[in-house]
Structure 1
């Protein structure tokens, strides 16, 4: 099975791997398809969830199939409220275990949030992906 990256992804890094009925999705960040990074943390969060959703849909899954979510935040105190709001729009049921980490920086100096996840391919196989279509 080939690795798939979200729309606008560049480089050889695998964005997901499958093993034992689980799909491990590497950190998704809020980068636009043209490679630019928005200044707004809200837009970065939206884009990161969209990218995550695109990987899930490629696997025939949806947000309800997530079993673990890990979010990394630069300046966590300034953005956690927006993250929770956007997360609640995307993940509406079958909530995954969620670990929230504050970090000093991410791969690019202007990135503010990154989301990595694990989905169970054998749980639902649904497409609860309203968050992606926007």
Structure 2
């Protein structure tokens, strides 16, 4: 019987994803954060001011959970809310100077961990993986 390459690809992708996520969570925990805290701060750090909906889409956390995390990060002085003047249902979130200083300190360390995770993969292989995963996402509505 021939091997089902799609199934094998799926299994390998899921196992490698689990391994990568465990390593990333371990790294983020070293900074005294939860993954959701870090993900929100990282999105704001790199993309600038975003709405709650935009953050939710960027970090793949539902808006109900996002509000709770934003509340905690705001209480720590790491981000602030700004109401939209045109639509009172919309709230913009931006990282504070304190949040930027924290990310300036920890993000390079985190990026180094990501580099270590992929150190055995050539740049050409990384490009191939990115393109293949984009195809899977696009073909399945993402």
* TM norm. shorter chain > 0.5: no
Whose Rg is larger?
Answer: 2
- TM-score, with normalisation over the residues of structure 1? 0.26
- TM-score, with normalisation over the residues of structure 2? 0.25
**Structure showing greater relative contact order (alpha-carbon pairs closer than 8 Å, 6 or more residues apart):** 1
